[in-house]
Amino acid sequence: MAQMNMIQALNSALDVKLSDDPNVLTFGEDAGYFGGVFRVNEGLQKKHGLTRCFDAPIAEGGIVAAAIGMGVYGVRPVVEIQFADYIYPAYDQLVSEAAKIRYRSGGEFTVPITVRSPYGGGIFGGQTHSQSPESLFTHIAGLKTVIPSNPYDAKGLLISCIEDNDPVLFFEPKRIYNGPFDGWHENPVQPWTGHPLAEVPEGHYTVPLGKARVMKEGADVTVLAYGTMVWVSLAAAEWAGVDAEVIDLRTLVPLDIDTIVESVKKTGRCVIAHEAPRTSGFGAELSALVQEHCFHHLEAPIERVTGWDTPYPHAFEWDYFPGPKRVGEALKRAMEG
Amino acid sequence: MKNTRSLSLHVPEPQCRPGDAPDFSGLMLADAGAAPRPDVSTSPHEMRDLAYSLVRVLDDEGRAVGPWDPKLDADTLRRGLAAMVLTRTFDERMYRAQRQGKTSFYMKCTGEEAIACAQALVLDREDMCFPTYRQQGLLITRGYPLVDMMNQIYSNAKDPIKGRQLPIMYSTKEFGFFTISGNLGTQYPQAVGWAMASAYKGDDKIAAAWIGDGATAEGDFHQAMVFAGVYRAPVILNIVNNQWAISSFQGFAGGELTTFAARAVGYGLPALRVDGNDFLAVHAATQWAAERARSNLGATIIEFYTYRAAQHSTSDDPARYRPGDEFDHWPLGDPITRLKQHLIALGEWDDARHEQLEKDCVEQVKAAGKESEAIGTLGQSRPSVKEMFEDVFETPDWRLRRQRQEVGV
């Protein structure tokens, strides 16, 4: 065991896979010699060699297309898109190609690739360094979408993604790379140091895809969250004084429907929290699923606390970001409903 | 006060429209044998002129001339001719099948047969082809069963890709033929990635990709060129310039301004511009590029200059945008006629044998057609509906299992 922040945990996952599987390689913009703008690939080129970890042209479509071709050949590339806000040039390759190649080839050609990308707000990143585009991918048949919320899961999930034979989008909440940000932005930033989920095994282990984690058990209301919003939701429950059961979904596709349904049937109430804009966000899917599976157990309308239906603003960071107060108020409303 | 002249927007227009007499006087052609053949290790900047020239081997009399003559033996030439005739025969039959309502859609490659058929003879079966929808000649030359092609076109119970894809979007790993996508250009940078992986693994396989003149305007084309150059990927990047992208003449992809081969110059890649209707030139250029790739010298761009003789697809009527007899005036002729003429000039072929070949091809296609239609044409037969839910992922998740139950299969 070692103490790691999320960056170190992700770096460790890559190091483990580069060490144990010669078919794993990683590349992206500034992801080689320099080690990535967030340092996730730090030291990997030096340790594993130039052809195992290298820099790429500034061409997201090309990066993903090259990864697809490599995956079809039979290697397992892990590519980095510097910010999720810049994944759109690769959207055609992800949606029309990576997602459909297994299907359209009758299962003959496969795309075992992982696309890593820092995502999410809360860092004054403005419009193009803060977005949460997960619902643009969860809507696509054939893609898996994974979002960790802590160092332990980050490493175990990333290893699972690399070992998975399907294309996976792995979104890393950059706001919590260094510490579990709870949304109380006026408070000093807490590092991961000393946190139980920052205790990370140094070797190989996995966290299975499709399994949620109950972060905090509770009797009154179920909170469905992922990424940074897991920590915000925990803080919100404390602020609101509500005995909430906070579920970290960890993978959006495949989704752990059983854990969700079991919890909502127990609590009878559900609040969904994500940073992405509300309309057609992943919360809409979660809300629909809870309604379909738990209708007779629901004692209040399902609440969604999300980013607004606007581009992500700069000066209005904390008016936009769904902080603990907004989530807490939703918890209270759910309790009254 | 504005004192400059008003700007005007230039919108390219083809030389000829329906009703006009075809005019190909403006083409950049070259005589057979005129283009030099550099060593494969030549640096791209030393061979730039080839991007503006035209590699041709067969002259007007059907003789093979110049440094690019691949000096193929008569058996190989006859094999190539047979593959081209079979491809054309297959196309004609499947075009009719669509008109008869046996399938929803078809696309011919008439006039372009030399490209895929000659290239298939050069590339190893282990090399991976990333084709567009107009390289059926690769499959036919590699001996992929015609009946499997038809089963795919009919989406019948024996369709190798299980009824999931539009007709002609073939896929066969065994024959080194990558699954065709409807999205244009996407396969181009994927081929580069495949080639990078082969190099990464220290393998000896190369990749080849095809794109049409129209789709070179896609961003994927640019990315493929950048990645191929940067990582010196062992890939052959073919551009099939058949003058037309559905109704748009190649000027809308920038072809009025320069050659497509010349795009390579800016990326530091070697380019060949080749007579696409000259079987020998296609063979020789591909051989050159394959040798270069196998020698770890990197990618080659080849523009094949040809003409899309047929409709874009069964959903298209070219008489609405180009002269109906344009192909008859195409200065590079018909690839089958030209190779036939060459073989006859060599004393290795004659009209009677050619007639027999055509008959044999018709019989072969007919027999495959009978076999495939016995399984069923579109709507009469199809794979199990279960197949709709398979292969989305390696293992279906709960949603797919439940949705399949909803359908009751």
Average pLDDT over residues B123-138: 98
**pLDDT value for A195:** 98
Mean model confidence pLDDT for chain A: 98
**Residue B193 touches chain A, beta carbons under 8 Å:** yes
Q: Is A69 close to B219, i.e. CB distance below 8 A? A: no
Mean pLDDT across chain B: 97
What pLDDT, on the 0 to 100 scale, is given for residue A337? 77
Give whole-number Cα distances, B368 to B100, B337, B377, in Å. 17, 25, 13
Interface check for B386 against chain A (CB to CB < 8 A): the answer is: no
Which residues in chain A are closer than 8 Å to B163, comparing Cβ atoms?
Answer: none
Residues of chain B contacting A61 with CB distance shorter than 8 Å: 189, 219-220, 223
Beta strands at A76-80 and A24-28: parallel, antiparallel or unpaired: parallel
Residue B26: pLDDT over 90: no
Yes or no, beta carbons of A69 and B186 under 8 Å apart: no
Per-residue pLDDT at B1: 63
Residue B61: per-residue pLDDT: 96
Residue ranges of chain A with per-residue pLDDT less than 50: none
**Closest residue in chain B to residue A101, using alpha carbons only:** B179
pLDDT band at B3 (very low <50, low <70, confident <90, very high): confident
Q: What's the Cα-to-Cα distance from B195 to each of A27, A54, B128, B212, B222, rounded to whole Å?
A: 16, 16, 9, 20, 17
Q: What is the mean predicted confidence (pLDDT) over B42-62?
A: 97
Mean pLDDT calculated for residue range B338-364: 98
Residues 204-223 of chain B whose Cβ lies under 8 A from any Cβ of chain A: 207, 219-220, 222-223
CA closest to A257 among chain B residues: B398
At B326, which amino acid appears? E
How far, in whole angstroms, is CA A264 from its chain's centroid? 22
Q: Would you tell me how many other CB atoms lie within 10 Å of the CB of residue B405?
A: 10
Query: Are residues B230 and A141, on separate chains, in Cβ contact within 8 Å?
Result: no
Is the confidence at residue B4, as pLDDT, over 90?
no
Q: State yes or no: is A204 an active-site residue.
A: no
Q: Is B239 helix (H, G, I), strand (E, B) or coil?
A: strand
B311: pLDDT confidence band, cut at 50, 70 and 90?
A: very high
Map residue B377 onto helix, strand or coil. Answer: coil
Nearest residue of B to residue A77, measured between CA atoms = B197
Please give the Cα distance from A110 to A103 (Å, whole number): 9
Residue B173 contacts A where some CB pair is shorter than 8 Å: yes
Report the pLDDT averaged over residues B23-35.
Answer: 92
Residue A251, beta-bridge partner list:
A146
| Tens of pLDDT, residues B390-403 | 999 999 999 999 99
Report whether pLDDT(B264) > 70: yes
pLDDT at position B148, please? 98
Q: Given CB atoms, is B59 within the 8 Å cutoff of chain A?
A: no
Specify the pLDDT at position A107: 97
Give me the residue from A51, A109, A141 closest to B179, CB to CB: A109
B183 in contact with A, Cβ within 8 Å: yes
Of A72, A104, A254, the CB nearest to B169: A104
| pLDDT digits 0-9 by tens, B69-80 | 999 999 999 999
Residues B67/B70/B74/B79 CA torsion (nearest 10 deg): -140
Mean pLDDT (whole number) for B340-363: 98
Contact between B192 and A254 using a beta-carbon 8 Å cutoff: no
Task: For chain B, positions 228-267, list CB contacts with chain A under 8 A.
Answer: 230
Mutation for B interface: A23, A48, A70, A292, most B CBs within 10 A: A70
**Do A172 and A178 meet the contact criterion of CB atoms below 8 Å apart?**
no
Distance (Å) from the C-alpha of residue B345 to the closest C-alpha of chain A?
44
State pLDDT tens for residues B82-111: 999 999 999 999 999 999 999 999 999 999
Complex ipTM value: 0.97
User: What pTM, to 2 d.p., does this model score?
Assistant: 0.98
